[in-house]
């Protein structure tokens, strides 16, 4: 019996997906729940696993964009493990042959154990991509992740070591010949000849590389243009004295990391400050539906994250119910999932307000674009020491510019400015976040 491998439905608004990569080849014997392929939608990457075991046949290769529900392969469930022709069948046979020896003989020092092998057979999409592109053998790489899993850094380092070894063993190419121009005799009265560069190697003029946008970047571009064409976007600015937050952070950062396992950053403070401001000005937490204003009674805060595939905005749900520590842990969790390509559609859905921290890249000031249909987005920027007038004296303070872009259709300038002032007040006096005032 043949079982169709279809592109699954991953959300109501998703109509197509791109096959990013196949984890198996035609002829491989696959087990139930084993990763078959990675698909990429306009919101996230999604793993597709085998429903049953059998021999795989691929009908649509990687790189193709197809509608949701398309059959891209099949699994012959009547096949047995020995009938596969791919690497999986060979590996399975080898494991069966050596199972007795493995059970009675301890592995030598540094060898990959059976448990480690099983862990490494299910690789994250980001890790699998590097393994495939660099032709690496994951069983030969020591994993530093949880339960010995391979991380992106593990395989990247292995690929770099492999490249270094290949380069070192390759014969050295002879040095290129440098051409020296010969000056031709010219009459003194003749006009100067146009300047011409002497080639020192191969000219790159006209050389280009054309790469199709992936679904995430393409959809992000569409939404940004949609926001610009639909909303009446304005931006207001303010600056925040970060002295108190930095003081609290420095005082408790070691104890915080020891208890929670991650660093204490600024995002937890700003998220709590934004929630207090949203409570005070509900229109900033709303959206427009036709001629209606929809006020959200919950606080789902999106945190913009830059990835290799483009900008994504994971959502911290019910952020008002979390402590600063809980928010920091949620953000770290999403950052890890984004880096490994495991962000799901659910992780990106139902945000009511967004925070974008360009300061981590060194941005001093920016005007963020709305994450439509949201009507507000806060832009954070880098902290920079600046001279400030404090009680009639000039003092050097760590300052941050902040920006609020908002939809002027439902948010007036007074509300927008007051919202940003509220955020400023809460961050400059962190105790207000504990008292929720």
pLDDT on residue 165: 62
Average pLDDT of the residues in 332-360: 87
Q: Across all residues in the chain, what is the average pLDDT?
A: 81
Task: Name which of 24-33, 164-173, 283-292, 385-394 the model is least confident about.
Answer: 164-173
In a domain? residue 261:
yes
Same domain, 347 and 375: yes
**Given a cut of 60, is residue 208 above it in pLDDT?**
yes
pLDDT on residue 138: 79
pLDDT on residue 18: 87
What would the pLDDT profile of 59-71 be if each residue is shown by its tens digit? 999 888 898 899 9
Distance (Å, whole) CA 44 – CA 341: 8
Are the C-beta atoms of 178 and 197 separated by less than 8 Å?
Answer: no
Average pLDDT of the residues in 197-211: 74
Which SS3 state, helix, strand or coil, does residue 278 take? helix
Q: Is the dihedral of CA 307, 313, 315, 316 positive or negative?
A: positive
| CA-to-CA separations, 371 to 25, 37, 231, in angstroms, rounded | 39, 30, 10
Same domain, 41 and 134: no
Q: Which residues pair with 32 in a beta bridge?
A: none
Across 28-42, 111-125, 227-241, which has the greatest mean pLDDT?
227-241
Structure tokens at 146: 């949880």
Same domain, 130 and 92: no
DSSP for 4-65, written as a single string: EEEPPP--TT--EEEEEEESS-TT-EE-TT-EEEEEE-SS-EEEEE-SS-EEEEE-S-TT-E
Same domain, 14 and 146: no
The count of structural domains within the chain is 3
Across 113-127, 195-209, 329-343, 392-406, which has the greatest mean pLDDT?
392-406
Same domain, 83 and 119: no
Of 22, 29, 217, 7, the C-alpha closest to 125 is 22
Average pLDDT of the residues in 4-19: 81
Distance (Å, whole) CA 319 – CA 275: 8
Distance (Å, whole) CA 432 – CA 277: 12
In a domain? residue 164:
no
**Given a cut of 60, is residue 412 above it in pLDDT?**
yes
The pTM score is 0.61
Same domain, 4 and 130: no
In a domain? residue 181:
no
CATH number of the domain within which 149 lies: 4.10.320.10
**Given a cut of 50, is residue 107 above it in pLDDT?**
no
In a domain? residue 223:
yes
Distance (Å, whole) CA 355 – CA 151: 28
pLDDT on residue 110: 43
Same domain, 66 and 129: no
Structure tokens at 123: 């690789």
In a domain? residue 250:
yes
Same domain, 140 and 265: no
What domain range includes position 150? 115-157
pLDDT on residue 183: 52
Residue of 221 and 13 predicted with greater confidence: 221
Distance (Å, whole) CA 124 – CA 149: 9
CB proximity list for 67: less than 8 A, separation 6 or greater: 7, 15, 16
Same domain, 381 and 240: yes
Q: Can you give the three-state secondary structure of 181-194, one letter per residue?
A: CCCCCCCCCCCCCC
Rg (CA), the chain: 28
Same domain, 5 and 140: no
Which SS3 state, helix, strand or coil, does residue 210 take? coil
Same domain, 236 and 383: yes
In a domain? residue 205:
no
CATH number of the domain within which 32 lies: 2.40.50.100
Q: Is 412 a catalytic residue?
A: yes
Same domain, 5 and 61: yes
Q: Is 427 exposed, middle or buried, given 0-12, 13-18 or 19+ CB atoms closer than 10 A?
A: buried
In a domain? residue 137:
yes
Among residues 4, 137, 254, 412, the one annotated as catalytic is: 412
pLDDT on residue 166: 60
In a domain? residue 91:
yes
CATH number of the domain within which 367 lies: 3.30.559.10
Position 223 confidence tier, pLDDT thresholds 50, 70, 90: confident
């Amino acid at each position: 019996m043949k079982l169709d491998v279809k592109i699954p439905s991953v959300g109501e608004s998703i109509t197509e997906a791109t096959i990013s990569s196949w984890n198996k080849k035609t002829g491989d014997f696959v087990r139930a729940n084993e990763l078959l392929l990675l698909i990429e939608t306009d919101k996230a990457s999604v793993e597709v696993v085998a429903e049953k075991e059998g021999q795989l046949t691929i009908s649509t290769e990687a790189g193709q964009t197809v509608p949701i529900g398309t059959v891209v392969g099949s699994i012959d469930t009547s096949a047995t493990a020995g009938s596969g022709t791919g690497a999986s069948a060979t590996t399975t046979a080898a494991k069966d042959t050596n199972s007795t020896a493995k059970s009675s003989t301890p592995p030598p020092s540094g060898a990959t154990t059976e448990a480690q092998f099983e862990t490494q057979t299910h690789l994250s999409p980001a890790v699998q991509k590097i393994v495939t592109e660099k032709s690496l053998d994951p069983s030969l790489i020591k994993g530093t992740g949880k339960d010995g899993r391979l991380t992106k850094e593990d395989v990247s380092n292995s690929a770099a070591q492999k490249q270094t070894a290949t380069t070192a063993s390759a014969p050295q190419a002879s040095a290129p010949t440098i051409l020296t121009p010969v000056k031709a005799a010219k009459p003194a009265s003749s006009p100067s000849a146009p300047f011409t560069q002497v080639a020192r190697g191969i000219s790159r003029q006209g050389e280009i590389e054309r790469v199709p946008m992936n679904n995430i970047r393409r959809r992000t571009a569409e939404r940004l243009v949609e926001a610009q064409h639909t909303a009446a976007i304005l931006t207001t600015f303010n600056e925040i004295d970060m002295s108190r937050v930095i003081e609290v952070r420095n005082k408790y950062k070691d104890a915080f990391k020891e208890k929670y396992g991650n660093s204490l950053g600024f995002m937890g403070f700003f998220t709590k400050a934004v929630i207090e401001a949203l409570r005070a000005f509900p229109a900033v937490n709303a959206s427009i539906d036709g001629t209606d204003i929809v006020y959200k009674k919950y606080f789902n805060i999106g945190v913009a994250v830059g990835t290799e595939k483009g900008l994504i905005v994971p959502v911290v749900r019910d952020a008002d119910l979390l402590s600063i520590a809980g928010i920091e842990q949620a953000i770290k969790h999403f950052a890890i999932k984004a880096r490994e390509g495991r962000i799901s559609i659910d992780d990106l859905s139902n945000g009511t307000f967004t925070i974008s921290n360009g300061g981590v890249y060194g941005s001093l000031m920016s005007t963020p674009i709305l994450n439509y249909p949201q009507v507000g987005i806060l832009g954070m920027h880098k902290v920079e020491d600046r001279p400030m007038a404090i009680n009639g004296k000039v003092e050097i303070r760590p300052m941050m510019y902040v920006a609020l872009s908002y939809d002027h259709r439902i948010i007036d300038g007074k509300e927008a400015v007051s919202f940003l002032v509220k955020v400023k007040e809460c961050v400059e006096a962190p105790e207000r976040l504990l008292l929720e005032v």
